[in-house]
Amino acid sequence: MAAHELSIDVYQAAMKRLAYVFEHFDNVYVSFSGGKDSGVLLELALAYVREHAPHRRIGVFHIDYEAQYTATTDYVDRTYERLSGEVENLRCCAPLKCPTCTSMYETHWRPWDPDKRELWVRDLPPECLTAEEIDIVAPSMSDYEFQVEFSTWHHQRHQAERTCVLVGIRADESLDRWRTIVSDRNINKFDKRVWTTKVAEGVYNAYPIYDWSVEDIWTANARFGWDYNELYDLMHYAGVPLHAQRVASPFHSAAKGSLRLYRVIDPHVWGKMVSRVNGVNFTAIYGSTTAMGWKNIQKPSHFTWKQYALFLLDTLPPETAETFRQKLATSIKFWRERGGVLGEAAIADLKDSGVSFEVGSGTNYKTDKLPVRMEYADEVDSKDFKLIPTWKRLCVTILKNDHVGKYMGFSQTKAETEKRKAALEKYKDL
């Protein structure tokens, strides 16, 4: 288990980072999803505290999504029961807006929705924080926003000088995670530590195991005999490759392709999930196919991709269609007037396809890529397909029920960002 930048193994590197955290932060809690990475990080933090800081009491933060694998619930239950009295229980059961990609009619669902109590997949755990106790919860708050605002709420509640949220993500899992942790564009670091990110004033995320591999995770579990989510054993038996095993909110885009596993691994929970959220059964059947924009989608032969995209928009519920049309208009204007940055390979693919475009000489972005201005193309054959503005890419986005437009490169809208800022301002004096 060799660390990338140090002459020590990743276990020793993680413990050195934890030592630094506990030296500089008076309030620390672990973001615990019930997955393999956050589980190992929790065990590392507990091991450090027990040996070096027995006077410290850390928190264990978990968003309970109600509809999840029984094995995940069992693991989370065991963990809180085992650590009862040793840690602060921050298990949150709140009706947050959680994205769903299972339906064209619903952009989100709410675990623990009081108006749908008769449809709950299971009852509330015996010890948890509900919306009544976490007074920052609002009807418009997403689970992502909640994680950010909870850290500020917890920081103020403890009247802490500095709060650190330990997050168990690893850079080798995806490019997005790598950028989150080590990208040069992230300038808001604590004391220039690359494995930290500023969340709010006095609040930071830290990623002590960012340079671990998935093999390191399982080596640690085996070597130290730590408890873990037995769902991974079931996934292994079901033939899911080691690097593809994920624990996520079941209706999220990241879990859509594996939603069908619930029918095999957890049939009792599956029966309740079918009636819990619209489109679950269809997604389980077709979530890994071209029917939901996966792999190599096809269109009717008499349509161009633009015609097919417009046809798909006409078939959507009016509110959903309008959301996609607004994002399309924004994207068309962006690529026409400002342009996006593309690498040499993508630019070569544009030339080969005969698409008309203009290449600028430089950009304000910290990248070696060049700015490209162009109109939406029908289709471009390229390995960088997701980066190029095409009508086929829009079709994929629609078929994925990707209401946020993440596949097209969209992030939070200005309205969503302003809503988050307003909430942080409102509760800053708590």
Sequence-separated (6 or more) residues with CB below 8 Å from residue 381? 349, 352, 353
What domains are defined for the chain?
10-215 (3.40.50), 305-399 (no CATH)
Q: In what order do the strands lie in the sheet with 340-342?
A: 340-342, 370-374, 357-359
Residue with the two structure tokens 């994205």: 99
- Contact, 208 vs 25, CB < 8 A? no
pLDDT exceeding 90 applies to what percent of the chain? 52
C-alpha Rg value of the chain to the nearest Å: 23
Q: What is the pLDDT of residue 290?
A: 40
Q: Is residue 282 scored above 70 in pLDDT?
A: no
Q: What are phi and psi of 411, to 5 degrees?
A: -120, -155
- Contact, 347 vs 373, CB < 8 A? no
Query: What is the Cα–Cα distance from 240 to 234, expressed in whole angstroms?
Result: 9
Q: What is the pLDDT of residue 321?
A: 84
* Per-residue pLDDT reduced to its tens digit, 113-159: 999 898 888 899 999 999 999 999 999 899 989 999 999 999 999 99
* Per-residue pLDDT reduced to its tens digit, 302-334: 889 999 889 888 877 788 888 889 999 999 999
Q: Is residue 1 scored above 50 in pLDDT?
A: no
Sequence-separated (6 or more) residues with CB below 8 Å from residue 272? 67, 119, 121, 122
Task: Tell me the mean pLDDT in the region 182-202.
Answer: 82
**Entry pTM:** 0.66
Q: Is residue 183 scored above 80 in pLDDT?
A: no
Q: Is residue 279 scored above 50 in pLDDT?
A: no
- Contact, 242 vs 61, CB < 8 A? no
Name which of 116, 126, 121, 32 is nearest 70 in CA terms. 121
Task: Tell me the mean pLDDT in the region 73-83.
Answer: 97
3 state DSSP class of 198: strand
Q: Which residues pair with 90 in a beta bridge?
A: 61
Q: Is residue 423 scored above 70 in pLDDT?
A: no
Q: What is the pLDDT of residue 214?
A: 95
Higher pLDDT, 302 or 50: 50
Q: What is the pLDDT of residue 262?
A: 56
- Contact, 426 vs 153, CB < 8 A? no
Q: Is residue 286 scored above 50 in pLDDT?
A: no
Q: Is residue 219 scored above 90 in pLDDT?
A: yes
Q: What is the pLDDT of residue 277?
A: 55
Which of 44-58, 250-264, 327-341 has the highest mean predicted lDDT (pLDDT)? 44-58
Which of 197-201, 277-281, 308-312, 408-412 has the highest mean predicted lDDT (pLDDT)? 197-201
Q: Predicted confidence band at 417 (pLDDT cuts at 50, 70, 90)?
A: low
